[in-house]
Amino acid sequence: MHIHKISHCCLVIDLKTKDGHSRRILIDPGFYSVEKHSKVNKIDIVLITHEHADHFHVESLKELLKNNSNVEIITDKGVGAILAKEGVTHHVMEHGNVIDTKGVRIEALGKDHAVLHSSLPLMSNIGFLIQNSLFFPGDAFTNPLKEIDILALPVAGPWMKISEAIDFALQLKPKKAFPVHDAVRIPTAHLLPEKILVANGIEFIKLEEGGSIDFN
């Protein structure tokens, strides 16, 4: 599995299926990465966790579809409602749903976005477990209640503290973790997780914008 971080939460994942096919997945193409993700080609699957603009930018998604006509879009009910109005074909998943599309196993985990404030209604958010290996939680600290090999760990945002991110990773105990949701991070957003997670047997890879990593 090859992971390229475009920006913030937007990732491009290249992997091989059991039958040897190459597949490319784009996750959470939001406004931080519009210029770059709109130009990505050969996309097979787009995953969108929720409707916040830093995760979902409808106009650039429609532009991407012009060059990737066979894309399978998988998302939550909130984004699904928007895409339905735009006439964009998609598949809505809910917590516990599992789909095998183009040889890639995807499981939806979680229901709600983390609380921004008690006065605001909860927004839908689903995380994605890809190939029973990589867990991308979106804007929530959802415990999948199963072993995780690789965790895309949110480290900065108005809905969280860095201590909560670290405790989330310690709870899940993945073999490896790398930071996402970090376009507006403070300096310690990468330093503290590295120090504490490594001390607890979790490899923390400081994946920066534009960087790539490979997982066996």
pLDDT for 216: 79
Q: Which of 168, 171, 170, 172 is nearest to 181 (CA)?
A: 168
Q: CATH code at 44? A: 3.60.15.10
**CB–CB of 153/136 below 8 Å?**
no
User: What residue type is 123 in one-letter code?
Assistant: M
Q: Into how many domains does the chain fold?
A: 1
In whole angstroms, what is the distance from residue 116 CA to residue 127 CA? 17
**CB–CB of 74/107 below 8 Å?**
no
In whole angstroms, what is the distance from residue 194 CA to residue 16 CA? 29
Q: Quote the domain boundaries for residue 36.
A: 2-214
Question: Quick check: 188 pLDDT over 80?
Answer: no
Question: Quick check: 187 pLDDT over 80?
Answer: no
pLDDT for 214: 97
**CB–CB of 26/56 below 8 Å?**
no
Please give, one letter per residue, the 3-state secondary structure of 73-103. Answer: EEECHHHHHHHHHHCCCCEECCCCCEEEECC
Question: Quick check: 67 pLDDT over 90?
Answer: no
pLDDT for 12: 98
Task: Name the pLDDT band for 39 (thresholds 50, 70, 90).
Answer: confident
Question: Quick check: 69 pLDDT over 90?
Answer: no
User: What residue type is 87 in one-letter code?
Assistant: G
**CB–CB of 29/46 below 8 Å?**
yes
pLDDT for 54: 96
Angle between helices 58-67 and 77-86 (to 10 degrees): 70
Q: How many alpha carbons lie under 13 Å from residue 190 in its C-beta half-sphere?
A: 14
Query: What average pLDDT does the chain have?
Result: 95
pLDDT for 38: 87
Q: Centre a 10 Å sphere on the Cβ of residue 179 and count the other Cβ atoms it contains.
A: 23
